[in-house]
């Protein structure tokens, strides 16, 4: 029997006002329905915002450690359900069991982290210029936060927006992506079971054109946090800032790994392959460009091709790389592969859909490597969001750094080198919000800021760690003359 999920509004699990629903399917076996959700419209989102606005004052005045205790309890409930949620994530989004389990654990860790951070919330004390005056600051919640999240990390990204918002006393309405909303809804099941007061956290499933638009434009929403495509993100930013809302957007990437002439080729190929083909390349921080010194170029291409060809593709519960999430995502990847060949890139491996009984009608694509790529090719400039790697040859470190920066994005970047001077220069000069040395472009610690440069971000507020708290709080300065 298909699992049926409801919206969570004002402490109740309810159907949408139109009684319309939509289904999710398993990208490994698209004929298999996973679950049914509410196809909400703007009126459902409005009701959720009104509930959040009503609950905000009382929640904001709740002692921060008490808010933290609720987050901690919700994290424990998620931990008890980890295997169940891992399986649901794999079935809806297509990640391997190991990848899905790691993502669920990250959501648990995020809840625990911000639960502990509530003990340190507050302001700062300063020395006043005159006598008999206490001078200090107080951090207050921004208000009602509208959260719009993508399908590619369907529990981790909602968690890293939701947990700091609640920890700092804000109320929230979340709209998860329609493709894989189940594990996001589970966050609210955990919060409900933990005893969260009515209206503090609400989830409404449905399309961005109605639900998402309401969260961006509603007069009672004070802050908007969006992760998704650049095209939509820029519209969200413009609409929300026109209304005076606080906004953060995290958008796409075209992330490079520079391979220096001092690098170990096998190590570099493994680092690049892990960054390019992990989570089927469906990460905003995935490595899509390997920029390789000419002295190592041919050897590196052979090594990374071997890495790609060693990956076993299939359903996520058994294999190294799962399917793409939808047919449209698969078609988009295949279209980019065709474009790369037309532009003159050399297809070294992959480039098509695997054949065999285990693939059925699933949305599978082979890990793909192109050599002979110029940095102005579309395959080197535009986000593909699939397991496709462009290998670019450069004559020296200077050319490699220039190529790394010669894109409109600036999210994550890495270098593989044994030269400490090169590493230091790369970290200083690369135009990316995340810079790594001898590591893959993917993978983030939860207690440090995350965000991009250029078209990868609004460049306003970072997420995660203390930066996550900063976005959801506003500072008041107090002069106390008692």
Residue 1 has pLDDT above 90, yes or no: no
- Torsion angle of C-alpha atoms 442, 446, 448, 453, degrees rounded to 10: 40
How much is the mean pLDDT over the chain? 97
Q: What is the mean pLDDT of residues 55-69?
A: 98
- Give the rounded distance of the alpha carbon of 384 from its chain centre: 16
Q: What does each C-alpha distance from 242 to 237, 419, 446 come to in angstroms?
A: 8, 47, 31
Residue 294 has pLDDT above 90, yes or no: yes
User: Average pLDDT, stretch 315-330?
Assistant: 95
Residue-wise pLDDT tens digits, 354-381? 999 999 999 999 999 999 999 999 999 9
Residue with tokens 């995660």: 464
Tokens of 333: 């990847």
Q: Residue 22, class by beta-carbon neighbours within 10 Å (0-12 exposed, 13-18 middle, 19+ buried)?
A: middle
**Domain 3-251+457-480 identical in fold to domain 255-437:** no
Tokens 């250029």, residue located: 454
> Distance between CA 410 and CA 425 in Å, rounded?
16
Whether the predicted pLDDT of 482 surpasses 80: no
| CATH label, 3-251+457-480, candidates 3.40.605.10, 3.40.50.720, 3.40.50.300, 3.40.50.360 | 3.40.605.10
Query: What do you get for the CA distance between the two ends of the chain, in Å?
Result: 66
Provide the pLDDT for residue 40.
Answer: 97
| Residue 65 neighbours by CB under 8 Å, 6+ apart | 118, 119
243-293 per-position pLDDT tens digit: 999 999 999 999 999 999 999 999 999 999 999 999 999 999 999 999 999
Radius of gyration for the chain, computed over Cα atoms and rounded to the nearest angstrom: 23
Which of the four CATH numbers 3.40.605.10, 3.20.20.70, 3.40.309.10, 3.40.50.300 does domain 255-437 have?
3.40.309.10
Cβ–Cβ < 8 Å for 24, 57: no
Q: pLDDT band for position 227 (50/70/90)?
A: very high
Per-residue model confidence (pLDDT) at position 25: 98
> Confidence band (pLDDT; 50, 70, 90) for 2?
confident
Token pair in block for residue 212? 């998402």
What average pLDDT does range 291-303 have in this prediction?
Answer: 98
d(CA 480, CA 166): 29
Q: How confident is the model at residue 317 (pLDDT cuts 50, 70, 90)?
A: confident
Sequence ranges of the domains in the chain: 3-251+457-480, 255-437
Closest CA to 187 of 154, 214, 164, 212: 154
**Residues 6 or more apart whose Cβ sits within 8 Å of residue 159:** 106, 107, 110, 111, 187
Give strand ranges (E) for 323-365: 346-349
Query: Is residue 211 within 8 Å of 44, Cβ to Cβ?
Result: yes
Contacts of residue 136, Cβ cutoff 8 Å, sequence gap at least 6: 123, 124, 125, 126, 477, 478, 480
Note the pLDDT of residue 207.
96
Kindly tell me the burial class for residue 119, based on how many C-beta atoms sit within 10 Å of its own C-beta (0-12, 13-18, 19 or more): exposed
Residue 357, Cβ neighbours under 10 Å: how many?
A: 5
Active site residues: 284
Mean pLDDT score, 154-161: 98
Q: How far is CA 176 from the centre of its chain?
A: 12
Is residue 310 over pLDDT 90? yes
């Amino acid at each position: 029997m298909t699992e049926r999920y409801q919206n969570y509004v004002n402490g109740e699990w309810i159907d949408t006002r139109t009684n319309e629903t939509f289904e999710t399917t398993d990208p490994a076996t698209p004929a298999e329905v996973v679950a049914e959700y509410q196809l909400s419209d703007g009126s459902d989102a409005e009701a959720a915002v009104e509930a959040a606005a009503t609950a905000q004052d009382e929640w904001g005045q709740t002692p921060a450690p008490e808010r933290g205790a609720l987050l901690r309890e919700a994290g424990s409930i998620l931990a008890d359900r980890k295997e169940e949620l891992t399986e649901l994530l794999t079935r809806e989004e297509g990640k391997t069991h190991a990848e899905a389990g790691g993502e669920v654990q990250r959501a648990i860790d995020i809840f625990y982290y911000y639960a502990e951070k509530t003990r340190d919330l507050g302001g700062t004390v300063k020395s006043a210029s005159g006598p008999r005056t206490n001078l200090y600051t107080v951090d207050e919640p921004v208000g009602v936060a509208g959260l719009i999240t993508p399908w590619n990390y369907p529990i981790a990204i909602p968690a890293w927006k939701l947990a700091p918002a609640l920890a700092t006393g804000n109320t929230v309405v979340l709209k998860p992506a329609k493709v894989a909303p189940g594990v996001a809804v589970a966050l609210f099941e955990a919060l409900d079971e933990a005893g969260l007061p009515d209206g503090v956290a609400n989830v409404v499933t449905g399309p961005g054109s109605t639900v998402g638009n309401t969260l961006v434009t509603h007069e009672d929403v004070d802050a908007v946090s969006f992760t998704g495509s650049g095209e939509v993100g820029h519209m969200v930013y413009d609409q929300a800032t026109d209304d005076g809302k606080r906004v953060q957007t995290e958008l796409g990437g075209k992330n490079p790994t520079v391979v220096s002439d001092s690098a170990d080729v096998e190590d570099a190929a493994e680092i690049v392959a892990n960054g390019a083909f992990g989570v089927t390349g469906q990460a905003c921080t995935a490595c899509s460009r390997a920029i390789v010194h000419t002295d190592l170029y041919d050897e590196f291409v052979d090594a990374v091709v071997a890495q790609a060809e060693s990956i076993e593709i299939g359903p996520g519960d058994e294999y190294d790389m799962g399917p793409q999430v939808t047919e449209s995502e698969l078609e988009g990847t295949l279209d980019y592969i065709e474009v790369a060949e037309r532009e003159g890139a050399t297809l070294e491996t992959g480039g098509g859909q695997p054949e065999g009984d285990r693939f059925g009608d699933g949305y599978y694509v082979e890990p793909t490597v192109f050599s002979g790529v110029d940095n102005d090719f579309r395959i080197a400039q535009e986000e593909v969001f699939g397991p496709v790697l462009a290998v670019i040859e450069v004559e020296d470190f200077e050319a490699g750094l220039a190529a790394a920066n010669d894109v409109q994005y600036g999210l994550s970047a890495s270098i593989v080198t044994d030269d400490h001077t090169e590493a230091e220069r790369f970290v200083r000069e690369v135009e990316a919000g995340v810079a790594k040395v001898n590591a893959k472009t993917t993978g983030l610690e939860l207690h440090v800021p995350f965000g991009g440069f250029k078209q990868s971000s609004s460049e306003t507020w970072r997420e995660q760690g203390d930066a996550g708290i900063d976005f959801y709080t506003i500072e008041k300065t107090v002069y106390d003359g008692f």
